């Protein structure tokens, strides 16, 4: 390759890096909740993506019906799913939490069926989008273009990750969650109400899923069956970053964003699953504890 051709290819590589990191924030937020539930409850929440979908619809309806700015709707989506999550865990998931993983796997599958098909019945299969007045704006930083809304979603994702990190490391609830994750019986003997702590964990995870849905809805189409995609993304993010930390999920999300963006740039738009899956299998076989190599516990 001679010198004159390097410039545009470098520019494309830079632009892909920026796009990947920006969208990686949304993926990281999807991964945060999945990692929390997996690390603390030892449950793979197959319905995680379906709850992301509910968050996306919350943002969509508040924006479309009442003209509320999508970023303002994020706390609302988070709060609504927090309540749903607490109830679901307290009433349903806690009943089977000590059963084999196949049982909890099936239970979350059943949540996915109910939520996704319920949404299909109520909101139809129409594909919707959140388009704000500032959706088309972009910053020009030298050779790369930074879409304003994507930059804001990354900022929001970082705020969510920081808040979760503070919650896990600086509060009594965070200590209780970490204690329960590392030794349930010892935690119970210390007087920690396990059922409540589990419910709070699931509630927090669903709150982040709701916010992730709002963020995803600003970048991607919204439709009832969108969830399956995000469940898979969440899982890959958890595996890439390693289970057990906010930082892990964040880094996993950014890596996943870069990976899929570069794959789309080089191979075409329809290879993202193939690339993500190959990365997943490679990491699982070579470094099962994730790229960061942490243990399977949720740390603050």
Partner 1 sequence: MTRREATGIAAAAAVIVVTLVLPGALNTYYIRIITGIFMFGILASAWNLIGGYTGYPDFGGAAFIGIGAYTTGILMVRSHLPFAVALPAGCVLAAAAAGAMGALLLRLRGHYFAIATLGFMLVLRQLTANLEITGGGSGMNLPPASDFKIFYYWMLGGLVLAVLAGFALPRSRPGYAIAAIRENQDAAQVLGIEPLPYKILAYAANAFLFAAAGGIYAYWLTFIDPLTVFNIDFTVQAVVMAIFGGPGTVLGPVAGAVILKSLDAALTNVSLFLHNVFFGALVCALVIFAPRGLAELFQLRPGRSRVAALGASIREALQENRV
Residues making contact with partner 1 (CB under 8 A)? 38, 44, 92, 94-99, 101-103, 105-107, 109-114, 116-118, 120-121, 184, 194-195, 198, 228, 232, 235-236, 239, 268, 270-274, 276-277, 280-281, 284-285, 288
Closer residue to partner 1 in complex, CB, 21/107: 107
Contact between residue 107 and residue 97 where contact means Cβ atoms under 8 Å apart: no
How many whole angstroms from its chain centre is CA 182?
23
Closer residue to partner 1 in complex, CB, 43/157: 43
As measured in angstroms, the least distance from the Cβ of 107 to partner 1 is 5
Smallest Cα–Cα separation from 33: which of 237, 225, 178?
237
As measured in angstroms, the least distance from the Cβ of 284 to partner 1 is 6
Q: Kindly list the distances between the CA atom of residue 63 and the CA atoms of 23, 69, 73, 77, 131, in Å, as whole numbers in the listed order.
A: 21, 6, 8, 12, 9
Six-digit token pair at 67?
A: 């003209």
Closer residue to partner 1 in complex, CB, 220/271: 271
How many whole angstroms from its chain centre is CA 3?
41
As measured in angstroms, the least distance from the Cβ of 109 to partner 1 is 5
Closer residue to partner 1 in complex, CB, 136/288: 288
As measured in angstroms, the least distance from the Cβ of 183 to partner 1 is 14
Contact between residue 210 and residue 54 where contact means Cβ atoms under 8 Å apart: yes
Closer residue to partner 1 in complex, CB, 143/288: 288
Closer residue to partner 1 in complex, CB, 92/158: 92
Greatest Cα pair distance in the chain: 69
As measured in angstroms, the least distance from the Cβ of 1 to partner 1 is 28
Smallest Cα–Cα separation from 235: which of 86, 89, 39?
39
Q: How many CB atoms lie within 10 A of CB 87?
A: 14
Mutual angle of helices 172-182 and 194-219, in 10-degree steps: 100
As measured in angstroms, the least distance from the Cβ of 21 to partner 1 is 24
As measured in angstroms, the least distance from the Cβ of 26 to partner 1 is 19
Closer residue to partner 1 in complex, CB, 130/205: 205
Closer residue to partner 1 in complex, CB, 2/185: 185
Contacts with 141 (C-beta within 8 Å, 6 or more apart), sequence order: none
Contact between residue 170 and residue 291 where contact means Cβ atoms under 8 Å apart: no
Smallest Cα–Cα separation from 43: which of 142, 111, 132?
111
Q: What is the C-alpha separation between 288 and 124, in angstroms, rounded? A: 40
As measured in angstroms, the least distance from the Cβ of 18 to partner 1 is 25
């Amino acid at each position: 390759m001679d010198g004159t051709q390097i410039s545009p290819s470098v520019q494309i590589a830079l632009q892909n890096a920026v796009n990947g990191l920006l969208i990686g924030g949304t993926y990281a937020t999807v991964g945060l909740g999945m990692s929390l539930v997996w690390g603390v409850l030892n449950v793979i929440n197959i319905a995680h993506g379906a709850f992301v979908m509910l968050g996306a619809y919350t943002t969509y309806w508040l924006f479309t019906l009442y003209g509320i700015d999508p970023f303002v709707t994020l706390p609302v989506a988070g709060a609504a799913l927090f309540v749903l999550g607490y109830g679901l865990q307290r009433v349903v998931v806690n009943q089977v939490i000590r059963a084999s993983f196949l049982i909890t796997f099936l239970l979350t599958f059943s949540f996915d069926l109910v939520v996704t098909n319920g949404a299909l019945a109520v909101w139809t299969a129409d594909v919707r989008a959140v388009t704000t007045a500032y959706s088309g704006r972009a910053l020009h930083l030298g050779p790369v273009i930074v879409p304003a809304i994507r930059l804001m979603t990354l900022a929001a994702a970082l705020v969510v990750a920081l808040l979760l990190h503070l919650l896990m490391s600086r509060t009594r609830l965070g200590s209780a969650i970490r204690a329960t994750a590392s030794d349930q019986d010892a935690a119970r003997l210390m007087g920690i109400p396990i059922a409540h702590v589990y419910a709070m964990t699931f509630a927090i995870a669903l709150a982040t899923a709701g916010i992730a849905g709002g963020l995803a809805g600003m970048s991607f189409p919204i439709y009832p069956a969108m969830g399956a995609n995000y469940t898979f993304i969440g899982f890959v993010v958890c595996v890439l970053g390693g289970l057990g930390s906010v930082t892990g999920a964040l880094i996993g999300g950014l890596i996943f964003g870069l990976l899929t963006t570069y794959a789309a740039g080089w191979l075409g738009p329809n290879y993202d699953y193939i690339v993500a899956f190959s990365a997943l299998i490679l990491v699982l076989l070579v470094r099962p504890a994730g790229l960061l190599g942490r243990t399977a516990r949720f740390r603050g």
